[in-house]
Chain A
């Protein structure tokens, strides 16, 4: 099973709302990632978790708050977002994080977020 699942598929939220995106994988991968993708652009890395610890935060605004409750789950908590945060949010996982010999990343289908 090489599946990464994400919920919800679509989310519309106002600028004062609090919501969470969820991601799950059951491949035994020890690295999980959050990416943000704007239309027709490559994904931009937001966060990397390795062995359930945050290892990279790519200068993401604090209105995005990641959480890794266990090795299979990854959440992204959203609060006080701006309209420019509207994008496709992708979760991914890989066997290990980092280095030129790392295995491929498996991506979920994404959550399409619209901030009104």
Chain B
């Protein structure tokens, strides 16, 4: 079945460091792909999305490119800030109608000043 594999953390970085969080997927067809972020004590927010191969989603300095050939959707940011400390989830829609999102296990990012 469809699945998402995401690198597990925690990832600990200093401010202004480069961030990569790996995400690979297994799916039938070419689903939309999403990155969600969850700040401490809050719900999930959509960070970015891509709907087809080679699309690049971007938001708040984060980017991810939909790579069909490697079935990947890695999240990157050139210079992280303390405020980026959060849990990041890679996700894709389940293939069946009437179903929901399939999430990766989540990656906790901790950025120190």
Binding site for B on A (CB under 8 A): 4, 6, 33, 40-43, 45, 48, 50, 55-56, 88, 90, 92, 97-110
Contact = CB atoms under 8 A, between A and B. Distances in A.
A4 B46 CA distance: 13
Contacts of A55: 98
Contact of A105 (B27, B28, B87, B100): B100
Nearest to B103: A42
Contact of A42 (B42, B92, B104): B104
A51 B31 CA distance: 23
Contacts of B100: 33, 45, 48, 56, 97-98, 105
Interface of B: 27-32, 34, 36, 42-46, 49, 51, 87, 89, 92-101, 103-106, 108
Contacts of B94: 98
A42 B106 contact: yes
B106 A107 contact: no
A95 B43 CA distance: 19
B26 to A, nearest CB: 12
Given A40-B106, A106-B46, 19 more contacts: A42-B106, A45-B99, A50-B98, A92-B44, A97-B97, A97-B98, A97-B99, A97-B100, A98-B96, A98-B100, A99-B96, A100-B92, A102-B32, A102-B93, A104-B32, A107-B36, A107-B45, A108-B43, A110-B43
Contact of A48 (B36, B46, B98): B98
